[in-house]
Amino acid sequence: MSSVDEVRRRIQQAFDRSGESDITLALEWGFERGDIWDFLHQKKASLKPEVLKRLSDHFDIPFEQLIITRQRKKRKAAQSEFSYFIVDSRIFPT
């Protein structure tokens, strides 16, 4: 699994080696003309799985290398250092 930039680079390198146009292939495969182009030019953050599968098969890139993994943001703790619960409108430390 790769970052968005790594996937973009792999796909762009495949197009550069083959000399094919991303718009032409998208149209041949029945996708919208800008699907691949928008992704390669950072207008979109992802591609549909169907597009990734076609790219994988066409350029012999392992499908797993085209799957984008995203960094999860750390969430703040929902509670402070101490937690409390309310019973009969009195507060008891836990």
Provide the percentage of residues in the chain whose pLDDT is more than 70: 73
Domain 4-66 has CATH 3.30.1490: no
| pTM for this prediction | 0.71
- The contacts of residue 28 (CB under 8 Å, 6+ apart) are none
Beta carbons of 93 and 26 less than 8 angstroms apart: no
Phi, psi dihedral angles at 47 (to 5 degrees):
-120, 155
Q: What is the mean pLDDT of residues 40-69?
A: 93
Q: Quote the mean pLDDT of the chain.
A: 84
Beta carbons of 23 and 34 less than 8 angstroms apart: yes
User: Is the per-residue pLDDT at 92 higher than 60?
Assistant: no
Residue 89: the pLDDT is: 60
Tell which wins on pLDDT, 45 or 75.
45
